[in-house]
Amino acid sequence: MCVRSCFQSSCLQWAWRTAFLKHIQRRHQGSHRWTHLGGSTYRAVIFDMGGVLIPSPGRVAAEWEVQNRIPSGTILKALMEGGENGPWMRFMRAEITAEGFLREFGRLCSEMSKTSVPVDSFFSLLTSERVAKQFPVMTEAITQIRAKGLQTAVLSNNFYLPNQKSFLPLDRKQFDVIVESCVEGICKPDPRIYKLCLERLGLQPSESIFLDDLGPNLKAAASLGIHTIKVNDPETAVKELEALLGFTLRLGVPNTQPVRKTMEIPKDSLKKYLKDLLGIQTTGPLELLQFDHGQSNPTYYIRLANRDLVLRKKPPGTLLPSAHAIEREFRIMKALANAGVPVPNVLDLCEDSSVVGTPFYVMEYCPGLIYKDPSLPGLEPSHRRAIYTAMNTVLCKIHSVDPQAVGLEDYGKQGAYIPRQVRTWVKQYRASETSTIPAMERLIEWLPLHLPHQQRTTLVHGDFRLDNLVFHPEKPEVLAVLDWELSTLGDPLVDVAYSCLAHYLPSSFPVLRGFNDCDLTQLGIPAAEEYFRMYCLQMGLPPTENWNFYMAFSFFRLAAILQGVYRRSLTGQASSAHAEQTGKLTEFVSNLAWDFAVKEGFRVFKEMPFKNPLTRSCHTWARSQSQWYPIGTRSYSSVPEASPAHASRGGLVISPESLSPPVRELYHRLKHFMEQHVYPAEPELQSHQASAARWSPSPLIEDLKKKAKAEGLWNLFLPLEADPEKKYGAGLTNVEYAHLCELMGTSLYAPEICNCSAPDTGNMELLVRYGTEAQKARWLMPLLEGKARSCFAMTEPQVASSDATNIEASIREEDSFYVINGHKWWITGILDPRCQLCVFMGKTDPHAPRHRQQSVLLVPMDTPGIKIIRPLTVYGLEDAPGGHGEVRFEHVHVPKENMVLGPGRGFEIAQGRLGPGRIHHCMRLIGFSERALALMKARVKSRVAFGKPLVEQGTVLADIAQSRVEIEQARLLVLRAAHLMDLAGNKAAALDIAMIKMVAPSMASRVIDRAIQAFGAAGLSSDYPLAQFFTWARALRFADGPDEVHRATVAKLELKHRI
Ligand SMILES: Cc1cc2nc3c(=O)[nH]c(=O)nc-3n(C[C@H](O)[C@H](O)[C@H](O)COP(=O)(O)OP(=O)(O)OC[C@H]3O[C@@H](n4cnc5c(N)ncnc54)[C@H](O)[C@@H]3O)c2cc1C
């Protein structure tokens, strides 16, 4: 796919040499080891073998240890053990045989690792032809050194193989002198062996350069006056050597090889075509090589009559219609040639397949430098910075081209690029999906909801990265931008983000080399954020605030691509280890993408202006019509009308008056409904709950449900994020719902009347998120219509159920059924005659990993074997008609299709179920508290004791003040958690959710308790809702998870993120 490799110049490979030489020279000045500068006085180069010409034993060992599950570092440690007199060094001096060495060495390794270490297998690998192969870059360098008349030597610590031959897997003809430790009986760093080498070369120490990967060996050489180069990676070492010698060591066309057998093209017809094209008469040969890369579109280097050309063609065989679009590449490069964007000079597009088998185009070979390693090793920080600045500048040039002016206005669709891209990549990902990757699922939901509001449309490159650029050899200037295969019209910021991927990937990342493990400041490379800023500055744009979105999208795209590769590797020839490795990359990259989504959420959240400062004008529940219900108004704003710009999806909406106009209208409609219908009905509803008919639903509730439905006050709870098309609910955000839920929470009955009560809400959300269409049709619809009710059965009397992994109820497969057995309690709603569905959590596989043992089944309540033992009471309250039941499940047969998502997915589902539903109770608790405080205020104003109204008592005033403060604190935390859930998702809001669950029930208990106290004994009676509120607030310190569990979460996250 990449043409980058086509343009790597051979003779200019030493680009920036002047600068680089200076850099090296400066290093020399501070070092006594390097006394010579420049290249003229050197007459020989001496190479160590392992780690310089072939892979080092240490590197081979690392790979072998992983494959053989040997503790990492064992081999290296054992090699070094004993120093001069250890088995390895004695082996190098041929004091022991291979057999003797392996015996001693094996024992040592096994002692060190406390496991049996098959050292024979390591030794075979180390000496195998597969591993012991000379690095091509070194072969090339040696050829050039000798061509310049310098001598070469190898000075190696090596050993005799069992066949009595010394281990030297090199072409001996490459060297004038070979010095082997096993032959001489002396090892480096003994100075004698260096002297021996110099003697055989007939040179003074200062006339030679020595390359080794080990510090002590280099030190010994340097102390004799030999110039040294430490070899960490052969490519960089060769560059350093070039700088010392003063001539290039790479002369062929880099990254080319003889044309592969399957990729051969007819030379005669190509030559005829080129002669016609170039108008030349030549009888000379046509030289043809193939670039290593560019397998998607095979790419060839051609030399004909002193012309250096590149041919890029479609591959043979049947192709996907939109892939391998070389015509587009040709078109855009031709169009850009005169538009100030550096591109290779394209010569011709030939669509006649008879010439080389498939359509192709020809361009001129562009000499220059390509930096493959984005950390730019060997350069000075200022040079690195200059390279990245030049990269940024050329990107700005691409994005500044007027597509119309260069005839590319129809090169892609106009506008809506990101939404289209998101759709495309979601589709591609789904097509190659092999298992559920949680981060990908979250991104698929998140990306469409966070699309940038404004997008520019320009030409975009589509694969803009450092190694697609050819640089000038002597200055930081881009000579050509390559690989336009993915170019189109689109949002330019996608290119900017894409060119920053390397910032976040490790240097070992196999597909795209990165440098997240390097110190950018030290390297001099601008950080991604700065790179974005540079771009905006050059383009004259305001800073890109949402650049994290673009990073999230770019990594999502990369993850989708990797998933495709993984899928193909599963079906193709790749080994299972390789396939598994690729699979892990998708997950790794998707997690990176999600990290950016979270960052973007936090950014929006943090930068959110508090548009409507809290200025309370009044906060009263006016005198109630009955003792039970208030008919006042709650307002936190002195602003009578919120401006339409105060859309509730913008800032953190802390008062109902700041909601967007439609939601504000809904809020007021609900408030009116509460005042008109709900509060007045409370006494009757309460007496029904105390009557003998309490285990049947109250007809008044059913009547009020119809009214609420008719007024559109129905199913308000489903968050927009779970139901983006508003198929099932009102499509409110969590913050919008928080205000409405609080209002419903001021009455114990309103949630059910508006079909917004637990546990149905959680169960409905579960079905929306995870249910099959059949499950939705059967269970979700009746629940949404309010015709049925449901319960959730997890807690068990015999185990501590705050840790859900403890649950024991079994779900066993039997033919086409699952059979469940278990004992549950505290199952809210199970006694209600309308309850048709029990969402049951049990264990399908007690031997699976801890969080994969559980499964969720949809159990029809009329299935035989469900035995309700008794209703439980909370402080004596039964909470009829739903109640809280203790129940046994005895051989309950449930059809297999009632499993949700699949066996082992129970934990995942339970967490999803507790998504937004997790803070609904907290929202209602704020409602309880507001109502309690309003009732308290009304009471203390009218009640006189000891000659004055209670409200004039300082302690009462203090209680009122304290309650107000506590409610406001808790409400802000509820809203903040809801807001964060909207912006960054439920996972990112985990800390805030846990905090509010810690805070809200206790706060409500205290506020309600003060109200009860102010009421006197009446506060404990059922004449007021206070006692019931109090009971619920207390119970929620278990029902919504025990306080301690939330505290543990808060502490864990605090320690993890805020140290
Ligand atoms: C009114 C009400 C309604 C309920 N409705 C339902 C329902 O519909 N469905 C359902 O399945 N369950 C329901 N429950 C049960 C509720 O979910 C459990 O009570 C809760 O999960 C705690 O489990 P447990 O009672 O087994 O307490 P245990 O797990 O035995 O815990 C006991 C105590 O141990 C301490 N503890 C536990 N973990 C930690 C920790 N990490 N650190 C420090 N201390 C800790 C806490 O003090 C905790 O209260 C309801 C409970 C109530 C009160």
Provide the pLDDT confidence category of residue 324 given band limits of 50, 70 and 90. Answer: confident
Any idea of the CA torsion for 664, 670, 676, 679, to the nearest 10 degrees? Answer: -120
Query: Among residues of the chain, what percentage have pLDDT more than 70?
Result: 88
Q: How far apart are CA 952 and CA 939, in angstroms?
A: 12
Q: How far apart are CA 388 and CA 394, in angstroms?
A: 10
Can you name the CATH fold of 656-909? Butyryl-CoA Dehydrogenase, subunit A; domain 2 (2.40.110)
Q: What is the DSSP letter of 897?
A: G
pLDDT at 20 exceeding the cut of 60: no
From residue 934, give the alpha-carbon distance in Å to each of 559, 589, 655, 1036.
54, 52, 18, 22
pLDDT at 10 exceeding the cut of 50: no
Bridging pattern class, strands 360-364 and 307-313 = antiparallel
> What separation in Å is there between the alpha carbon of 1035 and the centre of ligand 1?
10
Tokens for 84, please give them.
Answer: 């001069």
Q: How far apart are CA 47 and CA 49, in angstroms?
A: 6
CATH number belonging to the domain at 57-127, selected among 1.10.150.240, 1.10.3470.10, 1.10.10.10, 3.30.365.10 = 1.10.150.240
Tokens for 513, please give them.
Answer: 């080399």
Spatial neighbors of 358 by CB under 8 A, at least 6 apart, are 313, 314, 315, 316
Atom of ligand 1 nearest to the CA of 824: 11
Q: How far apart are CA 241 and CA 727, in angstroms?
A: 68
| DSSP H or E segment with residue 178 | strand 177-180
| DSSP H or E segment with residue 798 | none
Ligand 1, atom 44: nearest CA belongs to which residue?
A: 1044
If DSSP codes are grouped into helix, strand and coil, which group holds residue 948?
strand
Atom of ligand 1 nearest to the CA of 806: 29
> What separation in Å is there between the alpha carbon of 799 and the centre of ligand 1?
10
pLDDT at site 1057:
65
Tokens for 591, please give them.
Answer: 């997690």
- Which residue in the block uniquely carries the two structure tokens 């543990």? 1048
Could you report the per-residue pLDDT of 231-251, keeping only the tens digit for each? Answer: 998 988 998 998 888 877 766
pLDDT at 618 exceeding the cut of 50: no
Angle at 86 between CA 81 and CA 87, to 5 degrees: 110
| CATH homologous superfamily of 387-571+579-605 | Aminoglycoside phosphotransferase (APH), C-terminal lobe (3.90.1200.10)
Q: How far apart are CA 395 and CA 487, in angstroms?
A: 13
| DSSP H or E segment with residue 891 | strand 884-895
- Using alpha carbons, select from 101, 98, 118 the residue that is nearest to residue 162: 98
> What separation in Å is there between the alpha carbon of 768 and the centre of ligand 1?
26
> What separation in Å is there between the alpha carbon of 248 and the centre of ligand 1?
74
* Phi, psi values for residue 493, rounded to 5°: -65, -20
If DSSP codes are grouped into helix, strand and coil, which group holds residue 692?
helix
Atom of ligand 1 nearest to the CA of 1035: 53
Mean pLDDT, residues 563-569: 82
Other beta carbons within 10 angstroms of residue 109's beta carbon come to 24
Q: How far apart are CA 637 and CA 619, in angstroms?
A: 10
More confident call, 633 vs 198? 198
Ligand 1, atom 1: nearest CA belongs to which residue?
A: 1035
Could you report the per-residue pLDDT of 899-911, keeping only the tens digit for each? Answer: 999 999 998 887 7
Spatial neighbors of 474 by CB under 8 A, at least 6 apart, are 15, 16, 18
pLDDT at site 257:
74
Query: Among residues of the chain, what percentage have pLDDT more than 90?
Result: 62
| Peptide bond between residue 656 and the one before it cis (omega within 30 degrees of 0) | no
787-796, 905-914, 974-983, 1015-1024, range with the lowest pLDDT: 905-914
Ligand 1, atom 35: nearest CA belongs to which residue?
A: 1044
Whole-model pTM: value is 0.52
Exposure letters 875-905 (e unless 16+ CB within 10 A, then b): eebbbbbbbbbbbbbeebebeeebbbbebbb
- Using alpha carbons, select from 925, 1011, 1022 the residue that is nearest to residue 960: 1011
Spatial neighbors of 425 by CB under 8 A, at least 6 apart, are 556, 557, 560
Q: How far apart are CA 182 and CA 156, in angstroms?
A: 9
Mean pLDDT, residues 29-51: 61
CATH number belonging to the domain at 913-1056, selected among 1.20.140.10, 1.10.10.10, 3.40.50.10680, 3.20.20.105 = 1.20.140.10
Ligand 1, atom 9: nearest CA belongs to which residue?
A: 827
What's at 205, amino acid-wise?
P
More confident call, 861 vs 1056? 861
Mean pLDDT, residues 439-453: 89
Which residues does ligand 1 sit against, CB inside 6 Å?
Answer: 759, 791-795, 800-802, 826-828, 874, 884, 1035, 1038-1039, 1041-1042, 1044-1045, 1048
Write down the architecture of domain 256-367 according to CATH: 2-Layer Sandwich (3.30)
If DSSP codes are grouped into helix, strand and coil, which group holds residue 885?
strand
Tokens for 484, please give them.
Answer: 């336009």
- The DSSP string of 463-499 is S--GGGEEEPSSSS-EEEE---TT-EEE-HHHHHHHT
Q: How far apart are CA 4 and CA 658, in angstroms?
A: 55
Q: How far apart are CA 822 and CA 820, in angstroms?
A: 7
Tokens for 835, please give them.
Answer: 């309850």
Residue among 826, 832, 1047 to mutate when testing ligand 1 (max atoms within 8 A of CB): 826
* Phi, psi values for residue 230, rounded to 5°: -85, 130
- Using alpha carbons, select from 769, 438, 877 the residue that is nearest to residue 761: 769
Atom of ligand 1 nearest to the CA of 1032: 1
Mean pLDDT, residues 798-825: 95
pLDDT at 641 exceeding the cut of 70: no
Q: 44-50+131-245 and 256-367 share one CATH topology?
A: no
Mean pLDDT, residues 811-819: 95
Q: How far apart are CA 855 and CA 843, in angstroms?
A: 6
> What separation in Å is there between the alpha carbon of 1048 and the centre of ligand 1?
14
- Which residue in the block uniquely carries the two structure tokens 């070369």? 201
Q: What is the DSSP letter of 677?
A: I
Other beta carbons within 10 angstroms of residue 67's beta carbon come to 10
Question: Do the beta carbons of residue 387 and residue 476 sit within 8 Å?
Answer: yes
Provide the pLDDT confidence category of residue 12 given band limits of 50, 70 and 90. Answer: very low
Write down the architecture of domain 44-50+131-245 according to CATH: 3-Layer(aba) Sandwich (3.40)
**Average model confidence (pLDDT) for the chain?**
86
Spatial neighbors of 857 by CB under 8 A, at least 6 apart, are 811, 818, 820, 839, 840, 842, 894, 898, 899, 900
From residue 472, give the alpha-carbon distance in Å to each of 373, 483, 568, 646.
17, 18, 38, 53
For helices 699-710 and 679-690, give the axis angle rounded to 10 degrees: 150
Question: Do the beta carbons of residue 227 and residue 31 sit within 8 Å?
Answer: no
Q: Which residues partner with 619 through β-bridges?
A: 634
Q: How far apart are CA 928 and CA 241, in angstroms?
A: 78
Mean pLDDT, residues 205-210: 95
Bridging pattern class, strands 948-949 and 944-945 = antiparallel
Q: How far apart are CA 148 and CA 851, in angstroms?
A: 67
> What separation in Å is there between the alpha carbon of 863 and the centre of ligand 1?
27
Provide the pLDDT confidence category of residue 607 given band limits of 50, 70 and 90. Answer: low
Question: Do the beta carbons of residue 167 and residue 159 sit within 8 Å?
Answer: yes
pLDDT at 7 exceeding the cut of 70: no
Could you report the per-residue pLDDT of 816-840, keeping only the tens digit for each? Answer: 999 999 999 999 999 999 999 999 9
Question: Do the beta carbons of residue 531 and residue 499 sit within 8 Å?
Answer: yes
> What separation in Å is there between the alpha carbon of 914 and the centre of ligand 1?
15
- Which residue in the block uniquely carries the two structure tokens 């000798």? 146
More confident call, 681 vs 986? 681
pLDDT at site 569:
75
> What separation in Å is there between the alpha carbon of 403 and the centre of ligand 1?
64
Domain ranges of the chain: 44-50+131-245, 57-127, 256-367, 387-571+579-605, 656-909, 913-1056
Mean pLDDT, residues 1025-1045: 94
Mean pLDDT, residues 477-500: 94
- Which residue in the block uniquely carries the two structure tokens 């009329």? 862
For helices 17-29 and 234-245, give the axis angle rounded to 10 degrees: 90
pLDDT at site 305:
84
Mean pLDDT, residues 438-449: 90
Ligand 1, atom 32: nearest CA belongs to which residue?
A: 800
- Using alpha carbons, select from 883, 758, 791, 888 the residue that is nearest to residue 831: 883
Q: Which residues partner with 635 through β-bridges?
A: 618
pLDDT at site 606:
62
Question: Sign of the CA dihedral 85, 89, 91, 95?
Answer: negative
- Using alpha carbons, select from 759, 649, 761 the residue that is nearest to residue 716: 761
Could you report the per-residue pLDDT of 57-79, keeping only the tens digit for each? Answer: 988 888 788 778 888 889 999 99
pLDDT at site 294:
57
Atom of ligand 1 nearest to the CA of 797: 26
- The DSSP string of 720-751 is TTT-TT-SSS--B-HHHHHHHHHHHHTSSSHH
Tokens for 652, please give them.
Answer: 């953190």
Residue among 801, 831, 854 to mutate when testing ligand 1 (max atoms within 8 A of CB): 801
pLDDT at site 643:
29
Exposure letters 748-775 (e unless 16+ CB within 10 A, then b): bbbbbbbbbbbbbbbbbbbbbbbbeeeb
**Cβ-count burial of 389 within 10 angstroms (0-12 exposed, 13-18 middle, 19+ buried)?**
middle
pLDDT at site 915:
61
Which ranges of 68-178 would DSSP assign to H, the alpha helix?
74-80, 87-92, 98-113, 119-126, 136-147
Spatial neighbors of 881 by CB under 8 A, at least 6 apart, are 694, 695, 696, 697, 698, 831, 832, 833
> What separation in Å is there between the alpha carbon of 1032 and the centre of ligand 1?
14
What's at 376, amino acid-wise?
L
Q: How far apart are CA 755 and CA 834, in angstroms?
A: 13
329-333, 529-533, 916-920, range with the lowest pLDDT: 916-920
